[in-house]
Amino acid sequence: MSGGVDSSVAAALLVEQGYDVTGMTMRVASGEGRETSSKACCTLDAAQDARRVADKLGIPHYVINYVQRFEREVIQDFISEYMAGRTPNPCSRCNQRVKFGALYEKALAIEADVIATGHYARTTLRGDRVALLRAKDINKDQSYTLSGLGQAQLHRAMFPLGEMSKEDTRNVARSLGLVTAEKPESMEICFVPNDNYRDFLVSRIDAPLAGPIVNLQGELVGHHSGLVNYTVGQRKGLGIAAPKPYYVVKIDMQRNALVVGHEEEALCTGLTATQVSWCAIPPQKEPFDCAVQTRYKATPIPCTVTPDAANPETFSLTFHQPQRSVTPGQWAVLYDSDAVLAAGVIAK
């Protein structure tokens, strides 16, 4: 229970259906300005709201201290990815390693049958595998950020809001008189003050150094203010005067250089993903066609996937049409219609 309307209603629906429900809230704030915020989850204010909801529902509620685990599994991963020139997705990491990692372990320890969250997603059984499906409300679908979950986690996962819209959820909360009914959505990275990840990175690492901006021919076309301020595919804010707009093509940490190209030069024909988790299908050995989503809220695009037969945690793929803004560090999630087939972190 994050203290928002979604997890509040998820708990309420399970109580209504006769489940024996225990509410758990993660404490992940570590004194860096995120203890109170109306737009972030897992703050002290959010924990108090979760407790009020639990009291209203008549269920026990616990706040669990995961500050150190969250620091190690999510924040340090976030920092190291940026320092390696990649753009991470901390929500996917949190779902994989904390909500369905540390909290999953706690659920097993108290002999819970399932762990339920307020995510908008669905699951279904396909043979002996659990398939993760998109939510019925495609505008709220969160299957992308849940795609790193393994089969053991999915077998014990429950998403009560998967068939509902956001307005349905708020209407349930209103009808029950829950204090979270009108609470705004959490739109921020929960550990980043003022939703400014650049300032956060500067506060945790040595100040970023300015350096050259070069085109694909190696020619100097400008200067950057520090590589952590940029991401692959970025067009605005480069400060380059040119007849045609430039896009970030590569972040070269070794040379402290930002590599840019014009739109036709920024197109990508494929990618390689690692740390792969297979979902609706077991690890494959032969190429297959599907759709891939390379960013949260991005449109899935047709591709041909070539699995690494020797290493099931790696696959490469070729887009049927070249794409822009394919960013190392983000997740490449393979879909067959609404079902997640597999997902991995874009390595190159």
Task: Let me know whether 261 and 307 are in one domain.
Answer: no
**DSSP H/E element including 63:** strand 61-65
Of 226, 243, 265, the position where a domain reaches its end is 265
Whether 213 is covered by a domain: the verdict is yes
Q: Is 94 a catalytic residue?
A: yes
pLDDT at 56: 97
State the alpha helices, DSSP H only, in 86-194: 90-94, 103-109, 143-146, 151-155, 166-176
Task: Let me know whether 244 and 334 are in one domain.
Answer: no
Q: Is 303 a catalytic residue?
A: no
DSSP single-letter state for residue 206: S
Task: Let me know whether 45 and 182 are in one domain.
Answer: yes
Task: Give the CATH number, domain containing residue 31.
Answer: 3.40.50.620
Torsion (CA) 28, 29, 35, 38 in degrees, nearest 10: -50
pLDDT at 235: 92
Of 172, 195, 218, the position where a domain reaches its end is 195
One of 41, 91, 94, 290 is an active-site residue; which one?
94
Task: Give the CATH number, domain containing residue 314.
Answer: 2.40.30.10
Domain count, the chain: 3
Task: Let me know whether 52 and 182 are in one domain.
Answer: yes
Task: Let me know whether 57 and 108 are in one domain.
Answer: yes
Q: Return the amino acid letter for 300.
A: P
Contacts for 207 with CB less than 8 Å, ≥ 6 apart: 226
Q: Tell me the C-alpha to C-alpha distance, in Å, between residue 60 and each of 17, 79, 98.
A: 17, 36, 21
pLDDT at 33: 47
Task: Let me know whether 181 and 307 are in one domain.
Answer: no
Whether 314 is covered by a domain: the verdict is yes
- Range(s) of the domain holding residue 286: 268-346
Task: Give the CATH number, domain containing residue 239.
Answer: 2.30.30.280
pLDDT at 192: 84
Whether 232 is covered by a domain: the verdict is yes
One of 190, 279, 290, 303 is an active-site residue; which one?
190
Per-residue pLDDT of the chain (348 residues; tens, 9 = 90+): 999 999 999 999 999 999 999 999 999 865 544 454 545 566 778 899 999 999 999 999 999 999 999 999 999 999 999 988 899 999 999 999 999 999 999 999 999 999 999 999 999 999 999 999 999 999 999 999 999 999 999 999 999 999 999 999 999 999 999 999 998 887 668 888 777 888 888 888 886 789 999 999 999 999 999 998 899 989 999 999 889 999 999 999 999 999 999 989 999 999 999 999 999 999 999 999 999 999 999 999 999 999 998 999 999 999 999 998 899 999 999 999 999 999 999 999
Task: Let me know whether 292 and 174 are in one domain.
Answer: no
Task: Let me know whether 247 and 316 are in one domain.
Answer: no
Of 265, 289, 311, the position where a domain reaches its end is 265
Task: Let me know whether 41 and 111 are in one domain.
Answer: yes
Task: Let me know whether 177 and 76 are in one domain.
Answer: yes
Whether 146 is covered by a domain: the verdict is no
Task: Let me know whether 65 and 171 are in one domain.
Answer: yes
